[in-house]
Amino acid sequence: MGDKTPRAPRPQKPERRARGTGGLSKPRAKDGHVRGYKGTGAARKYTAWYPTKTLADHAIAFIVMDDEVREEIAVPPVHTVRNAIDGWLTHEADITSATRGGYEQSARHYLIGLLDTDVALLQRETVNEYYQDMSRKKNLSQSTINQAHSVLKGGLSYAHDNGWAKSNVAYGIKIPAAPKEKVEALKPNERGLMLAAFVDHRYEARFRLALIWGLRPGEATGLTWERIDFVRGTIEIAAQLQRSRITVNGEPLGTIYRASTKSTAGARTIWPDAQTMHLLELWKDAQAAEMIDRELAPFQIQQRAQQAARLAAAKDLGLLVSPGLYSVPPADGLVFTLANGDPILPRWDADMWTALCNRAGIKHVRLYVARHTAINHMLISGAPLASVSVAAGHHSQAFTERVYGGNRDVIGDGLAAFVSESP
């Protein structure tokens, strides 16, 4: 028999860590994240949860070292994505308190899987996969993902500027494409039913401003008499009531007055129809009659004092961007108030709209649909795009066209109604 060729030696298996010196936990059921650990039983030490095994294994490298070795290594402090977002929102983001509350909610709800990750270890691939998961598995809308991306990008910019991370890995990431969202609006016959349901309602003028002229809810409830010119027949939209999510000592600020609109373009002047202006004149007289000999009740005085104190504390703590714009809702001067003089809070406003939907005999839709319906109706009626964009307080005609120009279902219904009414 001939000589056999000797086999190559088998590669040595990597030496496994001794028991108790470190390993990876099983993936967490709710999101598949993993964490590293050292030790056994009650003596175990855990890393934070990470979206990939690679990151978790990297984190183990430090905790499995001998105490003597670890003490000799200068380890920089860990700054998480949560720290970065908090820093950006507090020190750099030039946004309103309402927008800040929305960003904080977006981070808590949609970026939760990244919040405990060290910004120095965060990889572009991890972020990209996270967005893909938001789109495909969680079926979140593109606008939701876009907002979450804006929050993450702002936080990581803050981290980079402060030396916590070498780069902002959120830059250059392509957000997963999603089908264009439809703008929900009432059909022409439903719009007519709602206008009829408004008649003789205490706040008929308020809801006409929404359904015909597209005022946002806070713009209508924050409207003051000094902004209405009955001689010229104009209304200046320049402020709003906002429901702030900011808390001070565990207590929410609640509804506050902002002497500015949602955006610069939101500050505008509109020329309402004669019927709406007439209703406003009648309402002004009725409100003035209610105010004769009316004094604030003790509980109202206490509530206003408490809210003023919380608002002052929020300003002192730097929780509000442009704090000079905010104040407690004025005790007088608001166009639409309750019988006791209090402002109309968002939840009451929405409840009244729901009751009007029931009175009209149509399915319930959210109050903001009134604004969408107004803008759609203006376009269907042939109003110039530029005029509609200004009346709506949009930042550009392109935005108006992109959002409302493609709402084929509503436009089709409107054109059908227009043709049927033509001679």
- Within 10 angstroms of residue 63's Cβ, the number of other Cβ atoms is 16
Comparison of pLDDT for 80 and 70, the residue scoring more: 80
One domain, residues 256 and 371: yes
Torsion of CA 296, 298, 303, 304, to 10 degrees: 40
Asked if residue 235 and residue 144 are part of one domain, the reply reads no
- Say if 274 falls within a structural domain: yes
Q: What is the pLDDT of residues 116-149, one digit of tens each?
A: 999 989 998 899 889 888 887 777 877 788 889 9
Does residue 264 share a domain with residue 206?
yes
Answer yes or no: is pLDDT of 283 > 90.
yes
- On the question of pLDDT at 263 being above 80, the answer is no
Flag the least confident range among 87-101, 154-168, 240-254, 283-297.
87-101
Let me know whether 34 and 86 are in one domain.
no
Give the model confidence (pLDDT) of 391-423 as tens digits. Answer: 999 988 888 888 887 554 544 454 444 434 433
Average pLDDT for the chain: 82
Judge whether 235 lies within some domain.
yes
pLDDT of residue 191: 97
Q: Are residues 57 and 107 in the same domain?
A: no
At 88, which CATH number?
1.10.150.130
In a domain? residue 41: yes
Do 68 and 90 lie in one domain? The reply is no
**Are 311 and 337 within one domain?**
yes
CATH number of the domain bearing residue 202:
1.10.443.10
Residue 188 has a pLDDT of: 94
Residue that is last in its domain, among 72, 107, 137: 72
Q: What is the average per-residue pLDDT within 295-313?
A: 87
Three state DSSP letters for the chain: CCCCCCCCCCCCCCCCCCCCCCEECCCCCCCCCECEEECCHHHCEECCCECCHHHHHHHHHHHCCCHHHHHHCCCCCCCEHHHHHHHHHHHCCCCCHHHHHHHHHHHHHHCCCCCCCECCCCCHHHHHHHHHHHHHCCCCCHHHHHHHHHHHHHHHHHHHHCCCCCCCCCCCCCCCCCCCCCCCCCCHHHHHHHHHHHCCCCCHHHHHHHHCCCCCHHHHHCCEHHHEECCCCEEEECCEEEEEEEEECCEEEEEEEECCCCCHHHCEEECCCHHHHHHHHHHHHHHHHHHCCCCCCHHHHHHHHHHHHHHHHHHHCCCCCCHHHEECCCCCCECCECCCCCECCHHHHHHHHHHHHHHHCCCCCCCCHHHHHHHHHHHHCCCCHHHHHHHHCCCCHHHHHHHHCCCHHHHHHHHHHHHHHCC
- Read off the pLDDT band of 335 (50, 70, 90): very high
Query: Does residue 10 sit within a domain?
Result: no
When mean pLDDT is compared across 56-60, 250-254, 412-416, the lowest value belongs to 412-416
For residue 2, tell me if it sits in a domain: no
pLDDT at 416: 44
Instruction: Assess whether pLDDT exceeds 60 at residue 70.
Output: no
Asked whether residue 174 is domain-assigned, the answer is: no
pLDDT of residue 140: 80
Residue type at 334 in one-letter notation? L
Give this prediction's pTM. Answer: 0.61
Considering only 16-25, 31-40, 190-199, 372-381, which range has the smallest mean pLDDT?
16-25
pLDDT tens digits for range 93-111: 677 666 777 888 888 889 9
* Residues 371, 242 share a domain: yes
Which is more confident, 180 or 338? 338
pLDDT in the model for residue 68: 46
Last residue of a domain, one of 117, 144, 161: 161
Calculate what percentage of the chain has a pLDDT beyond 70.
Answer: 78
Residue 5 lies in a domain: no
Last residue of a domain, one of 72, 90, 110: 72
Mean pLDDT, rounded, for 161-180: 81
Residues 229, 264 share a domain:
yes
Average pLDDT rounded to a whole number, residues 210-232: 96
Residues with Cβ within 8 Å of residue 90, at least 6 apart in sequence:
318, 319
Q: Is 350 exposed, middle or buried (0-12, 13-18, 19+ CB in 10 A)?
A: middle
Q: Report residue 118: phi and psi, to 5°.
A: -65, 125
Number of domains observed in the structure of the chain? 3
Residue range(s) defining the domain that contains residue 370: 188-421
Q: Does the structure show a pLDDT above 70 at 67?
A: no
Same domain, 301 and 318: yes
Banded pLDDT at 63 (limits 50, 70, 90): low
Together in a domain, 242 and 123: no
Q: What percent of the chain has pLDDT over 90?
A: 37
Q: Which strand ranges, in their side-by-side order, compose the sheet holding 240-248? A: 240-248, 251-258, 326-327
Strands 45-46 and 240-248: unpaired
Please indicate, yes or no, if residue 140 is contained in any of the structural domains.
yes
**β-pair partners for 258:** 240, 326
192 and 146 in a common domain: no
